[in-house]
Amino acid sequence: MSESIQITDSAQDYLAELLEKQNVEGIAVRIFITQPGTPYAETCLAYCRPGEEEPSDERLELEKIAVYLDKNSLAFLDEAVVDFNADRMGGQLTIKAPNAKMPKVNADSPLEDRVNYVLYSEINPGLAAHGGEIKLIELTEAQIAVLSFGGGCQGCAAVDITLKDGVERTLMERIPELGGIRDVTDHTDTTNAYYR
């Protein structure tokens, strides 16, 4: 069982009650993080009817409920606590996941997570001073990272030379299996190195 996440007794009681109201045999709770390892990480808790879980999910059998944990979110759920604080208004469920926004990657992590890690840990902090930010939009089948250059980088004449070169160099050094980078806004210019 994954020891990384703690679901307090009060949270289990509360969730067990909610699940019971759904009146679905075998219903569980699923916990996952959207955009893990980035500043936009959101920890989500959802009902999970039988068959709705992913085959790779880790199943936790707790005393009162069953919980599925998304495989890609596991590292980011380390030290997470799900708690329920009762109050006069009925109370609220809280999820604290201190590591959700922390990039945790290694050589086995999905390519997408590793690109995001380099962007968020090495590239974006340097751009923040200029109000710029780079986001990974998608990875193509050819392992080309399609990036969005936002904020102060957009429409800046130097973006082509300085940024793309620097970003491409950094990403390619850190992640050799990457096929290259492409700017999502760059639909017209076919002279760039991406197609060489």
Residue 100: pLDDT above 80? yes
C-alpha distances in Å from residue 5, one per residue of 55, 122, 143, 191: 20, 28, 33, 50
pLDDT recorded at residue 195: 43
Measure the CA–CA gap between 76 and 42, rounded to whole angstroms. 11
Residue 163: pLDDT above 90? no
Residue 186: pLDDT above 80? no
pLDDT recorded at residue 94: 92
Using DSSP bridges, classify how beta strands 144-151 and 180-183 pair: parallel, antiparallel or unpaired.
Answer: parallel
Average pLDDT of 107-135? 81
Nearest-Å Rg of the Cα atoms of the chain is 21
Measure the CA–CA gap between 107 and 104, rounded to whole angstroms. 11
* pLDDT digits 0-9 by tens, 8-64: 999 999 999 999 999 999 999 999 998 888 778 899 999 999 999 999 999 999 999
Measure the CA–CA gap between 112 and 138, rounded to whole angstroms. 8
The listed range with the strongest mean pLDDT (4-18, 85-99, 140-154, 174-188) is: 4-18
DSSP characters over 28-67: EEEEEEESTTSTT-EEEEEEE-TT-S-TTPEEEE-SS-EE
Residue 189: pLDDT above 50? no
Instruction: Measure the CA angle with vertex 116, ends 120 and 188; round to 5°.
Output: 105
Using DSSP bridges, classify how beta strands 28-34 and 42-48 pair: parallel, antiparallel or unpaired.
Answer: antiparallel
Average pLDDT of 165-184? 88
pLDDT recorded at residue 35: 83
Measure the CA–CA gap between 191 and 196, rounded to whole angstroms. 9
The amino acid sitting at 85 is: N
Residue 194: pLDDT above 70? no
Residue 129: pLDDT above 60? yes
Under a CB-based contact definition with an 8 Å cutoff, are residues 95 and 115 in contact? no
Cβ partners under 8 Å of residue 55, min gap 6: none
Residue 196: pLDDT above 80? no
* pLDDT digits 0-9 by tens, 138-155: 999 999 999 887 765 555
